[in-house]
Amino acid sequence: MDTKEIAAQISEIRSNINNFLIRELKRYTIEGLAPSHGAILHYLFTNKKMTMKDMAKAVRRDKSTLTALVCKLVSMGYVQKETVADDQRSVTIRLTPEGKKLEPVFREISDNLLQTIWRGIDEAEQKEVMRILQKIGTNVR
């Protein structure tokens, strides 16, 4: 494949990964969640509590996008918001008990995805491609 098609290839892989995740979420009957919501939950599984600002940075989305995404997670009962005592501007988000129940499902979906992506690609190749992708990432930043 021509090296000129790198952008198209990256774009297609991203799109396929997205579809994979949406399909998997459906399969586990978690309908209506997008990968971005999954990313938020992912961070909450390890962090317990984060401000909107930090989460926006973590999931690399605009703060206004995060407002909408979190709003949906709250309405679905997976996440709750609370204002910070010492800084009334800040809002933290955390998992509800219902949200915590999602962790094993997400872990499994994540494992499935990684196994699918790296199928037939040995560890040395994986490391090599990650190294170059990181370089590309900084190049185009």
Partner DNA sequence: AGATTATTGTTTGATATCCAACTAATTCTG
Partner DNA sequence: CAGAATTAGTTGGATATCAAACAATAATCT
- Residues at the interface with DNA (CB under 7 A): 15, 32-37, 51-53, 56, 60-70, 72, 81, 86-92
Strand partners, 81: 93
Q: Determine, following the binding rule CB under 8 A, whether residue 57 of this chain makes contact with its own copies.
A: no
Q: Determine, following the binding rule CB under 8 A, whether residue 13 of this chain makes contact with its own copies.
A: yes
Amino acid identity for residue 3 in this structure: T
Phi, psi of 83 (to 5 degrees): -75, 150
- Report, in Å, the least distance between residue 106 CB and its own copies: 13
- Report, in Å, the least distance between residue 35 CB and its own copies: 9
Give the CA dihedral 96, 97, 100, 104, nearest 10 degrees.
-150
- Report, in Å, the least distance between residue 126 CB and DNA: 25
The span from the CA of 127 to the CA of 138, in Å, is 17
The span from the CA of 17 to the CA of 91, in Å, is 31
Applying CB under 8 A, the residues found at the interface with its own copies are: 1-7, 9-17, 20, 60, 113-114, 116-121, 123, 125-137, 139-141
